[in-house]
Amino acid sequence: MKKSLRVIFVLMCLVLLGTLIAGCAKTYKVSYYDNGTLITTQNVKGGKMATAPTKPTKEGYTFDNWYQDQGMTKKFDFKTMKITKDTTIYAKFTENPNPES
Please name each of the domains of the chain with its CATH number: 26-95 (2.60.40.4270)
Q: Is the pLDDT of residue 60 over 50?
A: yes
Output the pTM of the full model: 0.72
Q: Which of 64, 74, 71 is nearest to 94 (CA)?
A: 64
Angle at 82 between CA 91 and CA 25, to 5 degrees: 120
- Tens digits of per-residue pLDDT, 20-44? 455 557 999 999 999 889 999 999 9
The pLDDT value given to residue 10: 62
Give, in order, the Cα–Cα distances in Å from 64 to each of 5, 40, 48, 55, 92.
Answer: 63, 17, 24, 9, 5
Q: Is the pLDDT of residue 14 over 70?
A: no
The pLDDT value given to residue 21: 54
The pLDDT value given to residue 81: 97
Is the Cα dihedral 14, 25, 84, 48 positive or negative? positive
Distance, in Å, from the CA atom of 27 to the CA atom of 49, rounded to the nearest integer, reads 11
